[in-house]
Structure 1
Amino acid sequence: MASLQRHLKDTEATEALGAELALMAKPASVICLHGDLGAGKTTLARSFIQALAGEEIEVPSPTYTLVQTYDTARLSVAHVDLYRLTLPAELDELGLDDLLATHQVIVEWPERLARALPADRLDVRLVTEDKARIAQLTGHGAWSLALKRLSAIADFLKDTDWAKAKRLFLEGDASFRRYERLVMGSKTAVLMDMAERPDGPAVKNGKPYSAIAHLAEN
């Protein structure tokens, strides 16, 4: 499990967090948004979906429909709002289990689920403080590593000329590496994210392949 806290001074900061989380989106992944009415859950979900779509598409709140799905070039997303959920049986009618297996799912009011939350998930708790918001992020399972990488990248960028650059998902190769395109005005750069990997089994003289080939560890 990993956690971090972000201070969101305004709506733009909440939207920026949604776009940042979209960089780690993938099928069969779940983000749970916790917070009172007006805490910014829908704002964050909307920016998350728009970042995946690559444009400011219309993202209405699914308060009455409960589920709204979007097919983007990168992956399919399901925006779920359980505020008006009255009966647990309604979840079966919504096909939530199928969506959890195939879509990137972002859920508002996950507390209303009458079942255990998925083991691989990101919990985002939004709390209003004066005129700002505090976002407490807790990653479980695969989201634990993703959250650590987001934190490491943010720490790296803040001390560079790219601290205020727009970060965009960039399709990479078939390796474990992940890429982003940084855009700031007319300038662009490519950021490669390569998390540290454990050594594999010994293949020669008691050494793993990574040591023999002198592969970079991170």
Structure 2
Amino acid sequence: MNWQARPKIFTRTTRSPDKTQRLGALVSTCLKPGDCLAFSGVLGAGKTTFIRGLIQNLIGTSYTVSSPTFNIVSVYDQGPFPLWHADLYRLENKNEWQELGLNETQEGVSLIEWPEKAADFIPRSTLWIQFEPHSDLLALTFSGSEEWAKRLYPLNAD
């Protein structure tokens, strides 16, 4: 299921990579083990920048966070729960998803870039974030369940 098929929760805009990273840090405060977040958007849209802010807020800014394009999955277990950061861009078929072991990450949080490559395996409870770059800003549309809407409410209250 893709982000368009989920109820829209809200859209936020950022005007710099630093603000995108800060938004990721804010979202990290709403996470709990078992969560799955899916990040969609064109190459260079800001997905990894957002994820960097999220991960570094949980494990510390001294850790380097980059897109796991070539190794496909990076695991960060220095924080309150494990974080599985997957970049599915190089997956050649959706069945490779099962080989990655991401369906066995209930004790941690899964952060999935290019989820369209394995859409059949993405949990229904996933929070989808669509990145839409424009000339002077980045629009991030959050879509998901009513539970996600409640958990993210503080971020949308302003």
Q: TM-score, normalised by structure 2?
A: 0.89
Gapped regions of structure 1 (runs ≥ 5): 156-218
- Cα distance, 1:139 vs. partner? 2.7
**Contact 1:78–1:103 (CA<8 Å) still a contact in 2?**
yes
Which one of the candidate residues 66, 69, 80 is aligned to 1:63? 69
Answer yes or no: is 1:84 the counterpart of 2:86.
no
Using CA pairs below 8 Å that are at least 6 residues apart, which structure has the higher relative contact order? 2
Report the alpha carbon displacement of residue 90 of structure 1 after superposing the two structures with TM: 1.8
Residues 36, 56 of structure 1: alpha-carbon distance in 2 compared, 3 angstrom cutoff: same
1:19 & 1:114 partners in 2: Cα distance? Answer: 26
Deviation at 1:97, TM superposition (A): 0.8
> How many correspondences in the alignment?
152
Partner residue of 1:72 out of 70, 74, 78:
78
The CA deviation at 1:89 is: 2.9
8 Å Cα contact 1:126/1:134 also seen in 2? yes
Higher helix share goes to which structure?
2
Moved over 6 A (4+): none
Q: Give 1:150 shift.
A: 2.5
Alpha carbons of structure 1 residues 77 and 11: separation in structure 2 relative to 1, 3 Å: same
Gap change, CA 1:85 and 1:51, over 3 Å in 2? same
* Partner in structure 2 of residue 115 of structure 1: 120
Question: In the aligned structure 2, how far is the partner of 1:14 from the partner of 1:98?
Answer: 29
8 Å CA contact retained: 1:123, 1:137: yes
Deviations 1:4-40 (A, max 9, x none): 1111111111011110110011111011111000100
% identity of equivalent residues: 34
Q: Give the CA deviation at 1:56.
A: 3.1
What pairs up with 1:18-97 in 2 under 5 angstroms? 18-97=24-103
- Could you tell me which residue of structure 2 aligns to residue 189 of structure 1? none
Residue 152 (structure 2) aligns with: 147
Aligned to 1:126: 131
Residue 183 of structure 1 corresponds to which residue in structure 2?
Answer: none
Q: Which amino acid aligns with 2:95?
A: A
Q: Which runs of 5+ in 2 are unaligned?
A: 1-6
Residue number in structure 1 paired with 2:3:
none
- 1:149-206 Cα deviation digits (max 9, x unpaired): 3223xx2xxxxxxxxxxxxxxxxxxxxxxxxxxxxxxxxxxxxxxxxxxxxxxxxxxx
SS of alignment partner, residue 119 of structure 1: coil
Taking a change above 3 Å as real, the CA distance of residues 16 and 114 of structure 1, as seen in their structure-2 partners, is closer
1:80 & 1:73 partners in 2: Cα distance? 17
2:10 matched residue in structure 1: 4
Q: How does 1:94-109 map to 2 (within 5 A)?
A: 94-99=100-105, 101-109=106-114
Kept in 1: contact 2:97–2:121 (CA 8 A): no
Change (3 A) 1:131 1:72: same
Which position in structure 2 is the counterpart of 1:136?
141
Shift of 1:82: 0.3
Compared with structure 1, are the counterparts of its residues 113 and 83 closer, same or farther at alpha carbon in structure 2 (3 Å cutoff)? Answer: same
What secondary structure is seen at the aligned counterpart in 2 of 1:113? helix
